[in-house]
């Protein structure tokens, strides 16, 4: 199974392609799209183009997308929500099932504690994938975490169906 993990943002979007192979989960590729466009419409178009390119290249089975649920700044939550909508629409157009996970679910899934801090999640990502360093910027390790939590959730759901 191949999963595309996405950490949506306003000026940066982290992404990661993970592949399950027997009992291993391997990161095939990951990165961060820097959105330099001033106009939101142009940023949204760029997000769509980037998502479509990665989907075509890796043919993932699922998209795991972090659900934005709280920001101190209303303007920020609106633009992240628009980006999330474009990502979900791109997934739908590509007939790619979209799994949305809250930050709480991701932390609960990876660490067993939903209120864990960002550093704990980054350390888990570094350990699970045997990375020399925690990927920078944080959006990348967040995308790896979203993808990993997505794989774990899918496997958990499959196990529940068999029992």
Neighbours of 142 (CB within 10 A): 29
Q: Mind listing the pLDDT tens digit for each residue in 72-90?
A: 677 778 889 999 999 999 9
**3-class SS at 98?**
strand
Counted domains in the chain: 1
Strand partners, 62: 3
Which residue among 105, 138, 139, 142 is the active-site one? 139
Q: Is 117 a catalytic residue?
A: no
Residues in the chain: 163
The whole-number pLDDT of residue 159 equals 76
Q: Is 24 a catalytic residue?
A: no
Which residue among 7, 105, 138, 142 is the active-site one? 7
- Whether 17 and 31 have beta carbons less than 8 Å apart is answered as no
Q: Mind listing the pLDDT tens digit for each residue in 100-133?
A: 999 999 999 999 887 888 899 999 999 999 999 9
CATH number of 92's domain = 3.30.420.10
Question: Quick check: 17 pLDDT over 90?
Answer: yes
Which residue among 61, 66, 142, 157 is the active-site one? 66
Which residue range is the domain that position 90 belongs to? 2-162
Q: Mind listing the pLDDT tens digit for each residue in 42-81?
A: 999 999 999 999 999 999 999 999 997 666 677 778 889 9
Q: What letters, b where the CB count within 10 A reaches 16 and e where it falls short, cover 37-46?
A: eeeeeebbeb
Q: How confident is the model at residue 148 (pLDDT cuts 50, 70, 90)?
A: very high
Question: Quick check: 26 pLDDT over 70?
Answer: yes
The whole-number pLDDT of residue 151 equals 95
């Amino acid at each position: 199974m191949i999963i595309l993990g996405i950490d949506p943002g306003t000026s940066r979007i982290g992404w990661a392609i993970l592949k399950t192979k027997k009992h291993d989960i391997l990161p095939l590729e990951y990165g961060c799209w820097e959105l330099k466009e001033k106009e939101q419409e142009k940023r949204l178009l760029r997000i769509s183009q980037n998502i479509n390119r990665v989907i075509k290249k890796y043919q993932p089975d699922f998209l795991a997308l972090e659900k934005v649920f709280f920001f101190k700044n209303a303007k920020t939550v609106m633009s992240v929500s628009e980006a999330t909508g474009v990502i979900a629409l791109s997934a739908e157009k590509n007939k790619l099932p979209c799994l949305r996970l809250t930050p709480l679910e991701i932390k609960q899934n990876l660490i067993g504690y939903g209120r864990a801090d960002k550093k704990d999640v980054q350390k888990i990502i570094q350990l699970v994938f045997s990375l020399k360093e925690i990927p920078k910027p944080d959006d990348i390790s967040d995308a790896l975490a979203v993808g990993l939590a997505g794989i774990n959730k899918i496997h958990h759901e499959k196990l529940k169906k068999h029992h």
